Copies of this chain bind each other. A is one copy, B any other.
Amino acid sequence: MEKLAETQYPIHGLLRRRWSPRAFSSRPVEPDKLRSLWEAARWAPSSYNEQPWSFIVATKDDEAEYARLLSCLVEGNIQWAQHAPVLMVSVARLSFEEDGKPNRHAFHDVGQAVSNLIVQATALGLVVHQMAGIFPDKIRELYGIPEGYEAVAGIALGYPGDPEILPERLRQRELAPRSRKPIRDFVFAGRWGRPSPIVTGDGS
């Protein structure tokens, strides 16, 4: 199932095709492809090239590890994410390695690494659904995450599946149209809230 973004201006197909489905195929993800995903994340930009991202990963090949990672998600996510062949949690290092000062962009840069991972996933025919609904404290305890690091988000990943496998309520969300704010609501010039003339048509 595809769900192309209905764009007002043209964007690259990899960005247009990306979306966050909840229906995953049971088909396993090839280890070669997983390595390419992390390689993509690896080359993301970061403040002072700190690379504050880490990932904890579990695949269905290892039932016990998979169950452990699944248990770190809130119930509403377990419901559908339990069918994804690959689960991950992203983790941020909150201070700079060099001087221990707080890294204001730790979460920001983890987000950029995951974005790269998603572009690569899309290029390989995979789909990704990120989850805010995780238990960071439980993850810290279960995996021994040290002070100064923090679990950021869950990531479910695999090949796209049939929406029919989803419970009714989630199937409806899967099939609903995608929506976003118009650009003029978030691109400003000169003053907060004043749309840039480039997006209102006054700037040619």
Whether B120 and A104, one on each chain, are in contact in the complex, defined by CB atoms closer than 8 angstroms, is no
Q: Is A175 an interface residue (CB 8 A)?
A: no
Chain A contact surface mostly: mixed
Instruction: Determine whether the beta carbon of A190 is less than 8 Å from that of B65.
Output: yes
- The answer, yes or no, to whether A74 is at the interface (CB within 8 Å) is no
With most chain B CB atoms within 10 A of its CB, the pick from A20, A119, A149 is: A119
Chain B residues with CB under 8 A of A186: 38, 42, 51, 53-55
Find out whether the CB atom of A31 lies under 8 angstroms from the CB atom of B204: yes
Q: How many copies does the complex hold?
A: 2
Which chain B residue shows the least CB distance to A8? B39
Segment from A76-84, A159-167, A195-203 that makes contact with B: A195-203
In the complex, are the beta carbons of B53 and A32 less than 8 A apart? no
The verdict on A11 contacting chain B, using a C-beta distance below 8 Å, is yes
A1 within 8 A of B: no
The 9 residue pairs across chains A and B that have the minimum distance between CB atoms: A111-B111, A115-B115, A108-B111, A9-B39, A47-B132, A107-B108, A9-B35, A54-B186, A5-B43
Cross-chain pairs A/B with CB under 8 angstroms, 14 sampled: A5-B43, A7-B42, A12-B119, A14-B14, A18-B43, A34-B198, A38-B199, A55-B187, A57-B187, A105-B107, A107-B108, A111-B112, A111-B115, A115-B116
